[in-house]
Structure 1
Amino acid sequence: MRDVKNRYGGLPPRTPEMLYNIVRKFYRGAVNHYELIQEKKADVKRALAEWTGAREDEWQERQQEVNKALTTLFLEFHFYVTCWLQIEMALYRLARSDERHARIMERFRDVLGTHVNVRHHLDQTEQCVEAQWEGDSNKQRLPGAERDLYRFGETLFTVDQQSLDSLHGLYDAIMAVRNEGVPDQRHP
């Protein structure tokens, strides 16, 4: 798997149709993964609830359970944002030869940038888990999980309906160009 910083270097040649297939494949992967991520978020909240109700002598063990749940959640996030990364790389290649795709890339630049940036941070999952505790000297709260908004570097992020809607919009825009203005039906 390519690292984020060098993602455009040395890409093998691909036909536009192959690139559209890559977009379709990773779009479906991300969409199909969304519900699992929501389940893993619930596991984090459950672990937090058990920790909140624990006696002081149980805190360390409960915190480990919270960290374990966070690690699992972030591994699921990693898959989801990797799908975004693969779509972004395919769109980049399409945009090099088609101005319509370049406009799509520009229109979705911020949301693509956010997802690719989070992907970069998630390569270090353990550090991402530890970063969630920063700012809480007692390590007794996990505000990101409480708000469903996690810290990845300077970015606050979660996989939510807004992210999924952005993915649908990006996919529809790419496929509309492919089909010359006729949106492709989603078949995750």
Structure 2
Amino acid sequence: MRDSSNRHRGLPPRTPELLYNVVRKFYRGAVSHYDLIQEKKQEAYACFEQMQATGDDQPLRAALATLFLEFHFYTTCWLQIELALYRLARQDERLAKVMDTFRTALETHVAVREQLEQTEACVAAQFAAGSSGLSCVGVERDAYLFDRFTFTVDETSLAQLHALFAAVEEQRTMSTSEKA
């Protein structure tokens, strides 16, 4: 099984056209998933408020598990974009610069995705971070804890994704016009 740390080893060769299609496909997937994630965050917050009133954390734990599965899909899209961009960057110096520009965002999303492989542990970590038994700091602040990262899928993440895709598309357009 390929994990995050060795994800670039032994990748089969792909044509630039196919790799650009991969970027496009997973960009659209992540963008289309954004609204659903916001809905699930609202549901988690409602469960948080319910927990504050009743003391029962089970509905919140279930809502967080669902939310984190949605985060997993979103960050998997980022991973697939990163893998395609990695291969494109090996073929084109301009795309290597794009990858360098977005390295922090890419690495953050990929690292969070790796944490999300253990959904229940991620849910438990949200409660461990709070100072009281009825605390769940991530839900309160929309800033969830994943190992060394505080993360959420928000406008900032979506803006990074849009900017990354625009930069890749700009290079694809330039490459296409150079060939013509």
Same fold (TM over 0.5): yes
- Stretches of structure 1 lacking an aligned partner (at least 5 in a row): 183-188
Amino acid aligned to 1:22: V
Q: Which residue of 1 aligns with 2:72?
A: 78
Q: Partners of 1:145 and 1:167 in 2: how far apart? A: 23
1:179 paired with 2:173, answer yes
Pairwise mapping of residues 39-188 of structure 1 onto structure 2 (< 5 A)?
39-54=39-54, 59=55, 62-180=56-174
Amino acid aligned to 2:7: R
Helix, strand or coil at the partner of 1:151: strand
Q: Which residue of 1 aligns with 2:26?
A: 26
Q: Partners of 1:40 and 1:163 in 2: how far apart? A: 16
Q: Percent identity?
A: 56
Helix, strand or coil at the partner of 2:106: helix
TM-score (norm 1): 0.90
Amino acid aligned to 1:74: F
Equivalent pairs counted in the alignment come to 176
Q: Partners of 1:136 and 1:28 in 2: how far apart? A: 35
* Deviation (angstroms), 1:137: 4.9
Helix, strand or coil at the partner of 1:141: coil
Say which structure is richer in helix: 2
Relative distance call for 1:85 and 1:39 in structure 2 (3 A) is same
Q: Which residue of 1 aligns with 2:17?
A: 17
Q: Partners of 2:129 and 2:153 in 1: how far apart? A: 23
Q: Partners of 1:136 and 1:166 in 2: how far apart? A: 29
Q: Partners of 2:124 and 2:113 in 1: how far apart? A: 16
Q: Which residue of 2 aligns with 1:7?
A: 7
Amino acid aligned to 1:124: Q
Amino acid aligned to 1:122: L
Amino acid aligned to 2:146: F
